[in-house]
Structure 1
Amino acid sequence: MSDKQGVYVGARLRRLRRNLGLTQSDMAADLEISASYIALMERNHRPVTAEVLLRLARSYKVDMADLAGDGGADHAARLQTVMKDPIFADIDLVTTEISEVANGFPGFSEALLRLYTAYREEQLALAERLPDQGAQRLETVEPVAATRRFLAARRNSFPTLDTVAERLAATVKDKGGIAQYLLERHGLRIRRLPSSIMSDSLRRHDLHHKQILLDESLDMASQQFQLAQQLAYLEFGKEIADAVEEGHFQTETSARLARRSLASYGAAALLMPYSAFAKAVETRRYDLAALSRQFTTSFEQTAHRMTTLQKPGQERVPFFFIRLDAAGNVSKRLDGAHFPFSASGGGCPLWNVHQVFRMPGEIVTQWLEFPDGQRFFSIARTVSAGGGAYGVTRVDRAVALVCDAQHADRLIYVRPDSDRTPTLVGIACRLCQRATCTSRAEPPIGRQILIDDFRRTAAPFGFADT
Structure 2
Amino acid sequence: MPSERRLYVGPSLRRLRRDLGLTQADMASDMEVSPSYIALLERNHRPLSAEMLLRLAQTYKIDVASLAGEGGAEEAARLQAVLKDPMFADIDVPALETADISTNFPGIVDALLRLYTAYQEEQLALADRGAEARSTGARSTDAPDPVAESRRFLAARRNSFPSLDDAAERLAQAIGGHENIFGYLKSRHGLRVRRLPSTVMVGSVRRLDYHRKEVLLDDGLDTASQMFQLALQIAYLEMREEVDAALGGGAFATESGERLTRRALASYAAAAILMPYSAFARAAETRRYDLEALGRQFGASFEQVAHRLTTLQKPGQERVPFFFIRVDPAGNVSKRLDGAGFPFARHGGGCPLWTVHQAFRTPREIVTQWLELPDGQRFFSVARTVTAGGGAWGAPKVERAIALGCAAEHAHKLIYTQDGPGPDSATPIGVTCRLCHRTECTARSAPPIGRQILPDDIRRTSTPFGFSDN
Report the TM-score range of the alignment, normalised by the length of the smaller protein: 0.7 to 0.9
Give me the whole-angstrom Cα distance separating, in 2, the residues matched to 1:161 and 1:437. 44
The equivalences for 1:167-246 within 5 A come to: 167-173=170-176, 177-246=180-249
Matching of residue 353 in structure 1 with residue 356 in structure 2: yes
- The letter of the residue matching 1:366 is Q
Contact kept, 8 Å, 2:11 with 2:72, in 1: the verdict is: no
- The letter of the residue matching 1:316 is R
**SS, match of residue 192 in structure 1:** strand
Matching of residue 284 in structure 1 with residue 313 in structure 2: no
CA gap of 1:167–1:11, structure 2 versus 1, over 3 A, is closer
Matching of residue 76 in structure 1 with residue 76 in structure 2: yes
- The letter of the residue matching 1:341 is F
Contact kept, 8 Å, 1:195 with 1:392, in 2: the verdict is: no
Aligned residue for 2:98?
98
Q: Scaled by the length of structure 1, what TM-score is found?
A: 0.85
* Residue 170 (structure 1) shift: 1.2
Matching of residue 165 in structure 1 with residue 168 in structure 2: yes
Contact kept, 8 Å, 2:436 with 2:448, in 1: the verdict is: yes
Give me the whole-angstrom Cα distance separating, in 2, the residues matched to 1:453 and 1:176. 69
**SS, match of residue 248 in structure 2:** helix
- Deviation per CA, 1:358-414, whole angstroms, max 9, x where unpaired? 011111111111111111111100011133569552111000001111100000000
**Structure 2 residue aligned with 1:370, among 366, 370, 373?**
373
Aligned residue for 1:403?
406
Give me the whole-angstrom Cα distance separating, in 2, the residues matched to 1:174 and 1:417. 37
Aligned residue for 1:317?
320
CA-based RMSD of the aligned residues comes to: 3.3
- The letter of the residue matching 1:430 is R
**SS, match of residue 463 in structure 1:** coil
Choose 442-451 or 277-286, whichever is displaced more: 442-451
Aligned residue for 2:114?
114
Aligned residue for 1:438?
442
Give me the whole-angstrom Cα distance separating, in 2, the residues matched to 1:10 and 1:279. 29
Give me the whole-angstrom Cα distance separating, in 2, the residues matched to 1:183 and 1:111. 42
Give me the whole-angstrom Cα distance separating, in 1, the residues matched to 2:217 and 2:90. 54
Aligned residue for 1:448?
452
**Structure 1 residue aligned with 2:463, among 454, 459, 466?**
459
Contact kept, 8 Å, 2:192 with 2:213, in 1: the verdict is: yes
CA gap of 1:226–1:174, structure 2 versus 1, over 3 A, is closer
Give me the whole-angstrom Cα distance separating, in 1, the residues matched to 2:309 and 2:296. 15
Give me the whole-angstrom Cα distance separating, in 2, the residues matched to 1:62 and 1:237. 26
Contact kept, 8 Å, 1:11 with 1:104, in 2: the verdict is: no
Size of the aligned set, in residue pairs, is 439
Larger radius of gyration: 1
Choose 443-452 or 181-190, whichever is displaced more: 443-452
Aligned residue for 1:339?
342
* Residue 70 (structure 1) shift: 2.6
Q: Scaled by the length of structure 2, what TM-score is found?
A: 0.85
- The letter of the residue matching 1:105 is F
Give me the whole-angstrom Cα distance separating, in 1, the residues matched to 2:178 and 2:295. 23
**SS, match of residue 462 in structure 1:** coil
- Deviation per CA, 1:414-436, whole angstroms, max 9, x where unpaired? 02663321111111111112122
Q: Which runs of 5+ in 1 are unaligned?
A: 28-40
- The letter of the residue matching 2:101 is V
Contact kept, 8 Å, 1:71 with 1:103, in 2: the verdict is: yes
* Residue 142 (structure 1) shift: 2.1
Give me the whole-angstrom Cα distance separating, in 1, the residues matched to 2:291 and 2:452. 45
Choose 452-461 or 181-190, whichever is displaced more: 452-461
Choose 379-388 or 325-334, whichever is displaced more: 379-388
Identity of aligned residues (%): 61
The equivalences for 1:4-19 within 5 A come to: none
Contact kept, 8 Å, 1:11 with 1:105, in 2: the verdict is: no
**SS, match of residue 386 in structure 2:** strand
Aligned residue for 2:307?
304
Give me the whole-angstrom Cα distance separating, in 2, the residues matched to 1:187 and 1:62. 29
